[in-house]
Structure 1
Amino acid sequence: MEKTLIQKSKTGESAKKITARVVLNGMLRELGNGKFYQGVPKHDLLTAQALEKSKYPLHMRFEMKKNGIFLFAPISYRSKTTFHEYGFPIWAVDHNNNEIFEVHLEELIEMIYIEFCDTFTEEGLDRFTQRIKSSVRNLQITSEAISERQHPISYSFLESEQILPAGHNLHPFTKSRMGFSEEEQKLYAPEFENGFQLDYFLIHKDCISEQSLSGISAKEIFATLASVPEEYYFDNIADYYIVPCHPWEAKYLMSTEEYPEIIGSGLVIHIGKLGEEFYATSSIRTLYSPQFNWMLKFSLHVLMTGSVRTNSLKDLRRGYASSAWWNDRKTLFEKTFPDFKLLSEPSTISVFFKKENIDSFNILVRENPFSSQDKVLLLARLCQDESTDHNFTTDFFKNLAETLQTSPEQAILTWFKRYSQLLLPPLNTLFKEFGMAPEVHQQNLLIQLNDELLPQTIYVRDGQGYLLKESYKEKYKKAIEECPEIEDLFIRDERLLDIISHHLLVSNFAALISSLGKTGLIEEQKLIHILYDEFSSLHQSEPSDLTDYALHQRYWAVKSNLQSAILDVDGGINASSISYAKVPNLLHRYFFSQQLIHPQGKEVFFKRYFPKEDVTISMRPIDLENDLEMLHEWFNREHAVKIWQMNWPIDELETYYRLMLPSDEAHSYIIASNDEPSCNIEVYWACRDIVGDYYEVLPTDYGTHQFIAPTDPKKKYVSPSTQSMVDYVFAQPEVGKMVGEGSVDSLASMMNKAHVGFKVDKVIEMPHKKANLNFCYREWYWEKFPQNKNIQITTNIIKNE
């Protein structure tokens, strides 16, 4: 009993932590109000008080403007993506009221609601809170059920669908199932592994609308599921379909005001539960039987994630239309890509009574290629980020390593490369040649494994999400004439790229890379390099808007699921109402210079002697604990105030550096002349800097800011300092060109840049200054200083004659 109570307490806390992680990462993506914060400050005593209690070296600081506070969430795992892991508790720092306090999930939810809403309403907050609480409770009880599983892992399709302990990692209502009681959830939710019979009705053919491809009949499919009991035989039984219904939905239908009239008409006759048992897949409403060649996607009047999950007539039309469209192209496509399968929904039925649709009977019939013997992984299974002692993803890749007789790291690299190569070329061909894009997010993508547990075949499901580019409508004019429903599949090209970005680049690859990194078996950067190489190779051989977007778009689009949840936007009813946020392009990290932006240590790493000036220039990363007072004094010097405008109070300057140093945007360095500190430089990654808004920035662009502290001309050593700075930046292989945006008010700065080869491109109006946008390539610099071409970054003093 005591062990059970401890387990329930653990799963309860885990459920809250999973939810907090999802909403914090959602806020980070959608509001962009979070920045990494390093260490404990010396001069901001209130923040120091909170962070000393936290004991984590790195936090995400969220600026909650509408709440008037800062939130500090401890970082327990820092991802290259926006899927971070957080420690607890979270701390709030309220400078206005001079207080700090722990933030529990209930307070966090209210704060986030306030931050997103232009107009606060108690009703809206209560609705959002209740859905979060429902999701947390469901996370707890389903996690308890999963933890009690006794049988060994089999990698079957059904097992993969049933074991998703963390749910949907891109939606705040990760396990929301409002409409189910706790007992009903135990009967019908996949985590509880229960099979159940379907509920059957006899429905007159005049009430039924069926759309099926040639050779396929919903009536015949349903007839194979169950036989009509003898007591229901009557003279015109041939005029009736036997129609299944999800048993929960049948009960719901019977509770409606319309049901007595429907059943009293004799056009709809309730039989009850019959036939073989079916099992819920991860969507809950799509049911599976290993003995049956079809899966059935039912309507459920249950609120899951952000929508009541009923099949609309539009869903049925789209499912049928995508099957009709694909049926004419499938054979040709699969000759080239035999290991990529789009699952069709070739038959749908809907039921009408007095010309009104009874959506409880709206059914999509989907192909079922999976037997109980097949090894199949739902991608979401690898992206769960479980907060338990036994992490499936870790265990899976350790098992794979044993099978392949290699290291876990190499096993992951092999698996990930195979997966990318199976997925990307067919998707690119679909988009480029066919103008089509399926929604390949982690809940829709299934990976069939070979005997070695390596990816063998990719399956994609959910035909309503097989979308066509608007620009291809003329190409499919004949197809539309033959099947007018195909017109429902078209969507604006630009919008379709946003949808692909969310599903393929964020929900699929970014989430997977993060989850693999969290195993501790591999660094995310190595996976990013593989993915970049695959996209780059594809772009060279088969360039498309998709490959161009993935490689070159500065930001990737991601659905604003948190905002939609807070504002109660139902994307199931109106997908066009969903807004999109943007996250930095993950593939640009291929060109991220770890040395420039995240240098290790605080010691001098570069020395160079300049005989003409008789000066030795040395360079080291900033040591904030020891350099802050010096920098504060420098920036308050008269010549610094006008141009740099960083003459802030010391606590503000400290905050500036504690946010900059752990960021992916910039780093600060100290240059010394003959061992006397004389210059501060900042190196920044232009694609993450505001300057990238003013030109077509490349991920290989890196910029610098340079502040010369001395005013005595004999101690400035401007040229040696600048040359050393440029040498250091150009020594990094990730750098293509250097960029600068010195103030137009600083003629000396521009002359100094011109001295080493920079050329002004144009004048730009930035929020804080009017600036000369200027660039420099290695060749331009070496034309000025050919002797610097072979400079090595070393602590050995380099002498140039």
Structure 2
Amino acid sequence: MSLDVNNIAEQASFQAFMNCYLREVEQGGWQTAQQWRQVYQSQHERDNTTLFAIKDDAWIVEIPLPHQSAKLAVEVTYRTQVGRHSFGRLFHYQAWQFLPQWSVIAPLNAVLLLVREMYVNAGYQDMAEKERELLRRILDSEQVMQRYVTARKDDERLQSLRFIDAEQALVFGHWQHPTPKSRQGMADYQHDDYAPELTGEFSLHYFQIHRSLISQRSALAITAEDMIRHSFAVGDLVTSEHVVLPMHPIQAQWLLHQDYVQALIAQRMIIDCGRRGIAMTATSSVRSLYHPELPWMYKFSIPIKITNSLRVNKRHELEAGVVMASLYRKTGFSERYPTFQVITDPAYITVDLPARAESGFEVIIRENPFPLGDDHDTVTIAALTQDPLLTSDSLLACHIKQLAERMQTSLPQTSMKWFARYWDCAIEPMIRLYDEHGIALEAHQQNSVLRFNSQGYPQTYYFRDNQGFYLSTAYATYLESLEPDSATVHDLYFDDQMICDRFAYYLMVNHLFSIIGRMGADQLIAESVLLHFVQQRLTALKQELTGAGHRFVASLLSKPSIPAKANLLTRVQDIDELMVENEQAVYTAFPNPLSSALPCSSLVGTESDVSQNNDEKAVVTEPSEVTNAIA
């Protein structure tokens, strides 16, 4: 890859978009580079040096564009079994030309052709406006990515395992999203201060709110207003009549432009106190803020569309956070499985206004398990598995290679042992939580935080997200006996079929497969070995589990596909999933590499095909080597 930051951002944007397209829209026609050359060589006898200088072990996937009498051919430099291919050069074939032949095409131009094809084929209402909206987000995402890559390309903190460094290292964003860095609503000048990728720090904006307008709740002995008072030293602003609310500065400016807020300010029910106090910094979600010396993190609404949605704290999320903080504590699950922890959101505070579900002042208060001095060797799975920027290795590959060198073991052995430890502290406990308590988690990679032990192996897994709980209706009586208030938060309960679908996507496709794909692409260990390990562990778990987890595991081992969130199709239809019933995005079917009906090798042909595909990259692991690694 060229070291030019524009090329890096363009290629990274294309890779995210193309993986979505292949998974959600069109699987394409796959051929080896050698087969592809044989088909088209005669058409390019005069110019075959550029178009066909592709290694024999690469693949080509052809994408038809029938509405444009054209097709694309994409070089696949790494073909995965779990959804994250790596791409090289792109070629365009226009059938209506006088002498039709393949020509090189830039990644962005290829994306524009694919977008045009989708909308011509789809026939959605308001198609032209939806297409323009998607194109705006694609361009915005790529331009933002260019800015972040330029700023961070020489920053050693991208390889850091300190909590906030890893939170702010996601320069490429969500690899399963077509617009991973879309930030509509964030002005150009605001990125330096408020974008986590640019590591800015900023003070908060404060308001005095008349107590009659305040609604707050806490699952702890301390109230939300006292958490704020102790965090930000705003005691001088607190009066017998007023409570102090901090606000993200971008949200504060939005609020000050609302008629209903201006009216309350005129009545002295709200007093604008401006910006002051200690500087906070953004975590990977942009709107959750951190300070290493505070016991709490603070999550605000912001008037910015990030990936799919406008980021607004909904009232039901506030209630759910407090209820789940209390309910999870009462299960005692983390006492029995101490390597598994949930970072709860035990308190909220907001302004209640008539006829408004949300006022815009909603503040969620989150535990901070990573204060100064205890914030090392801690990283999100999203940062760990992100593509490398200008180095040859991802953060995970760097870590595994250093670990292998220290332990004097082979890369496959070290990778297998690391993966087994991760399974034990993260994946198996989540399945057992669902089986024992009917609680499933939306454990996608950005909401999954991992802490390493002194050797460098996974020690503790942390889940965070008050929007990410699914309670089984079949367990409702039991859960309500533990925490009666759970009966009042109806949005938390789902039937097990929906839970199994969502849980399978977030836990497997989004989360675990990202680790498997990263290890495979980084030549640490073969994907097929890791998938076989997962099949074995799931088969053993199936014999032990007796509740909802048993049905979940059985479906993973038997169904030929896994329902997977279709971020591209969600964007094509311009759906804000946070604003629709059940926060339901578009879902599609992902071929299940864990199914007994679908052998692990079937997604890429035979095992010999895999070896041919990745001859230089293949990692052969003997069964005895795997057994020794896990032991």
Where on the TM-score scale, by shorter chain, does this alignment land: which range?
0.7 to 0.9
Q: 1:504, 1:353 → 2: CA distance?
A: 38
Q: 2:265, 2:406 → 1: CA distance?
A: 58
Contact kept, 8 Å, 2:72 with 2:110, in 1: the verdict is no
Output the amino acid matched with 2:104.
E
Return closer, same or farther for 1:69/1:662 CA change in 2, 3 Å cut-off: farther
Number of corresponding residues: 590
Q: 1:454, 1:189 → 2: CA distance?
A: 31
CA offsets 1:133-182 (integer angstroms, 9 cap, x no match): 11111111112222232569541111110111211111111011111122
Return closer, same or farther for 1:212/1:137 CA change in 2, 3 Å cut-off: same
Paired position in structure 1 for 2:61 = 60
TM-fit CA distance, 1:123: 2.0
Matching of residue 586 in structure 1 with residue 587 in structure 2? no
Tell me the SS of whatever aligns to 2:578: coil
Contact kept, 8 Å, 2:209 with 2:271, in 1: the verdict is yes
Output the amino acid matched with 2:31.
Y
Return closer, same or farther for 1:593/1:266 CA change in 2, 3 Å cut-off: closer
Contact kept, 8 Å, 1:505 with 1:550, in 2: the verdict is no
Q: 2:144, 2:160 → 1: CA distance?
A: 25
TM-fit CA distance, 1:78: 1.3
Return closer, same or farther for 1:584/1:153 CA change in 2, 3 Å cut-off: closer
Alignment of 1:389-788 (within 5 A): 389-391=391-393, 392-478=395-481, 481-542=484-545, 544-574=550-580, 575-588=582-595, 591-592=599-600, 597-598=605-606, 600=608
CA offsets 1:464-492 (integer angstroms, 9 cap, x no match): 21111232234445467544433220112
CA offsets 1:275-310 (integer angstroms, 9 cap, x no match): 222111000100111111111111111010010111
Return closer, same or farther for 1:154/1:53 CA change in 2, 3 Å cut-off: closer
Matching of residue 83 in structure 1 with residue 90 in structure 2? no
Paired position in structure 2 for 1:318 = 320
Return closer, same or farther for 1:518/1:271 CA change in 2, 3 Å cut-off: same
Return closer, same or farther for 1:93/1:154 CA change in 2, 3 Å cut-off: closer
Q: 1:471, 1:61 → 2: CA distance?
A: 46
Matching of residue 335 in structure 1 with residue 335 in structure 2? yes
Return closer, same or farther for 1:103/1:119 CA change in 2, 3 Å cut-off: farther
Contact kept, 8 Å, 1:444 with 1:460, in 2: the verdict is yes
Output the amino acid matched with 1:570.
D
Alignment of 1:117-516 (within 5 A): 117=119, 118-119=122-123, 121-150=127-156, 153-228=159-234, 230=236, 237-329=239-331, 331=332, 333-356=333-356, 359-373=359-373, 374=375, 375-391=377-393, 392-478=395-481, 481-516=484-519
TM-fit CA distance, 1:25: 0.9
Q: 2:274, 2:204 → 1: CA distance?
A: 8
Q: 1:597, 1:252 → 2: CA distance?
A: 54
Return closer, same or farther for 1:273/1:585 CA change in 2, 3 Å cut-off: same
Contact kept, 8 Å, 1:351 with 1:357, in 2: the verdict is no
Give the structure-2-normalised TM-score.
0.87
TM-fit CA distance, 1:65: 3.8
CA offsets 1:68-110 (integer angstroms, 9 cap, x no match): 432211011111222000002x112233553544333443333
TM-fit CA distance, 1:210: 1.1
Q: 2:437, 2:295 → 1: CA distance?
A: 28
Return closer, same or farther for 1:61/1:153 CA change in 2, 3 Å cut-off: closer
Contact kept, 8 Å, 2:593 with 2:600, in 1: the verdict is no
Contact kept, 8 Å, 1:22 with 1:169, in 2: the verdict is yes
Contact kept, 8 Å, 1:225 with 1:276, in 2: the verdict is no
Gaps of 5+ in 1: 1-5, 602-660, 664-801
CA root-mean-square deviation: 2.7
Contact kept, 8 Å, 1:479 with 1:486, in 2: the verdict is no
Tell me the SS of whatever aligns to 1:139: helix
Output the amino acid matched with 2:558.
H
Paired position in structure 1 for 2:95 = 95
Q: 1:99, 1:409 → 2: CA distance?
A: 43
Give the structure-1-normalised TM-score.
0.69
The equivalent position to 2:20 in structure 1, one of 18, 26, 43, is: 26
Contact kept, 8 Å, 2:153 with 2:389, in 1: the verdict is no
CA offsets 1:710-768 (integer angstroms, 9 cap, x no match): xxxxxxxxxxxxxxxxxxxxxxxxxxxxxxxxxxxxxxxxxxxxxxxxxxxxxxxxxxx
Return closer, same or farther for 1:399/1:68 CA change in 2, 3 Å cut-off: same
Q: 1:529, 1:469 → 2: CA distance?
A: 29
Paired position in structure 2 for 1:71 = 72
